[in-house]
Amino acid sequence: MNTTSPISARVDETTLKDLDRLAEELDRSRSWLVAQAVREYVKRETEFLEFVKIGEDEIENGDFHTQDEMEAWLEERISKRAGKEAS
């Protein structure tokens, strides 16, 4: 069974009014909306941190391209495309 725990947060009056208006429109409780928002935020930020960690690991292992290498690659692609369009 999934258990829940209460938390509290302080928000400004405008945000609280908007939250209440949204809860009424969606026929959901304020608590439900806040829980959804927290869940989505935590998921998004966790995924981002995992993405950053993968990049850091790749850099540590030498699996990366320098700025100069990427610029040269991009210029080559642009040149090839320009050549195809001129044909």
Comparing CA positions, the residue from 18, 15, 73 lying closest to residue 26 is 18
pLDDT of residue 1: 64
pLDDT of residue 86: 73
pLDDT of residue 75: 95
The low-confidence residues of the chain, meaning pLDDT below 50, are none
Comparing CA positions, the residue from 8, 5, 3 lying closest to residue 30 is 8
pLDDT of residue 83: 84
Going by the DSSP 8-state scheme, the letter that residue 85 receives in this structure is H
Helices (H) and strands (E) in the chain, counts: 3, 0
pLDDT of residue 52: 98
